[in-house]
Amino acid sequence: MNIDDPRVGENLGELSRTLANTGEPELIESFLRCLLTPAETADIAARWALVKALDAGLPQREIAKNLGLSLCKITRGSRELKKDNSAFRRILEMAKKG
């Protein structure tokens, strides 16, 4: 399946709704570890860590060094956080609330 395939949106939407409805963080984590390769899991975890580091005000070069990420990925994360109605920002604020 390529990124332009309409099934991408259909399946991502279905998966998102299902995960949102579980109410079981441990089940979601276990599912993600089954679904993703170890490298994909580490990549997603690093991207989440970069969002939190940006929110904490850490310099982009420090984040790149600490997480082993490219400045391009960090800049993308920074732009996403700054967008109006940013999904990154909304999820980050939800995570802060616990």
Give the tens place of pLDDT for each residue, 13-55.
999 999 999 999 999 999 999 999 999 999 999 999 999 999 9
Band of pLDDT at residue 74, cut at 50, 70 and 90: very high
Give CA–CA dist 59/38, Å, rounded.
Answer: 28
Contacts of 24 (CB under 8 A, 6+ apart): none
Rg of the chain on CA atoms, in Å: 15
DSSP helix, strand, coil percent of the chain (3-state; round to 5) = 80, 0, 20
DSSP structural state of residue 57: T
Q: Which among 81, 78, 79 has a CA at the least distance from the CA of 64? A: 78
Element (H, E) at 68: none
Residue 98 scores a pLDDT above 90: no
Q: State how far the Cα of 63 lies from the Cα of 60, in Å rounded to an integer.
A: 5
